[in-house]
Amino acid sequence: MKTIFLLLAVLGLAAPAFPAAGENKPMDKKTEYAVFAGGCFWCMEAVFERVPGVVAVVNGYTGGHVDHPTYEEVCTSTTGHAEAVQIEFDPAQVSYAHLLDVFWNAHDPTSLNRQGADEGPQYRSAIFYLDDAQKAAAETSERAAQAELSRPIVTQIEPLKKFWPAEDYHQHYFAKHPDQGYCAFVIRPKVQKLQAEGVITK
């Protein structure tokens, strides 16, 4: 499965579906999943692709009520979906708790429905948990993050229902277009800042 997932990512194809909250995972599955929303998914993807132990990151949409949403639909702020990243990771190399730490540092969790110039509910901060253990970890992590912030966290913590992979051209966007305006002036500084702070290491 991992080989297929990586091959699809390299080819720019849609990623396969993965277990939603409450569903059983294959017994031989050695990787796990996390789903976060923290503004533009290009930014979050670029950050989490640089976390050791992360196997793959897929940009997509979740949290809304429209099936098979398109980017244009999500941009209307009427689908209920947020731009999000699906992270496949190896728990033997990186913990879900560490991914949560990266999440809090990778965006402003006190900004409601906005990250920088990106504004609208599709840019909201959210953690979509797959099971009770992830929910508990997210809530514990939120309390720790709040203790370090002067403004209240507005991040939503809710069960994952369905993750819809975004269009092919959204996948690995920063890697493919490092000199594009948004990438050069928004994503690259964010990545460099987190690298300098030791939040991400590669």
- Interval 94-122: pLDDT, tens: 999 999 999 999 999 999 999 999 999 99
Strands (E), 52-172: 54-62, 82-89, 114-115, 118-119, 125-129, 156-159, 164-165
The set of catalytic residues is: 40
Domain 31-196 has CATH 3.30.1060.10: yes
pLDDT at 147 over 80: yes
pLDDT at 36 over 50: yes
User: What pLDDT, on the 0 to 100 scale, is given for residue 8?
Assistant: 38
Asked whether 25 and 128 are in contact (CB, 8 A), the reply is: no
Average pLDDT for 41-58: 97
pTM of the model: 0.85
| Average pLDDT of every residue of the chain | 89
CA–CA separation, 125 and 159 (whole Å): 14
